[in-house]
Amino acid sequence: MKLKKNIATSAEGFIFNPGTGDSFSTNPIGAEILSLLKEEKTIAEIIDVISAKYDVDQSQFEKDLDDFKSQLEDSNILD
């Protein structure tokens, strides 16, 4: 999972796609996932970081991350 190069994000979870002019917002964990994607972390690394930082069930988080990934793909945010 990799963000497109031209996607602008903020620490607060604002996402802007200059290619389409669309903008989106996400919650703090979504913003953290976007930050990890910008660092080119793998899915496994993202799961490890979020699971260690927050008290979340890893299998549930994997499902939530898959849903988030689908939303990013539908919004043309990922390569």
3 within domain boundaries: no
Q: Model confidence at 33, in pLDDT bands (50, 70, 90)?
A: very high
Q: Model confidence at 30, in pLDDT bands (50, 70, 90)?
A: very high
Q: Does residue 55 surpass a pLDDT of 90? A: no
What stretches of 25-76 show up as alpha helix (H) in DSSP? Answer: 28-38, 43-53, 58-74
Strands 22-25 and 8-9: unpaired
59 within domain boundaries: yes
Q: Which domain holds residue 15?
A: 8-74
Average pLDDT over every residue of 54-74: 93
79 within domain boundaries: no
d(CA 46, CA 5): 19
> Residue 11 in 3-state DSSP?
coil
19 within domain boundaries: yes
Cβ distance 11 to 25 under 8 Å? no
Residue type, 34: L
Average pLDDT over every residue of 24-33: 95
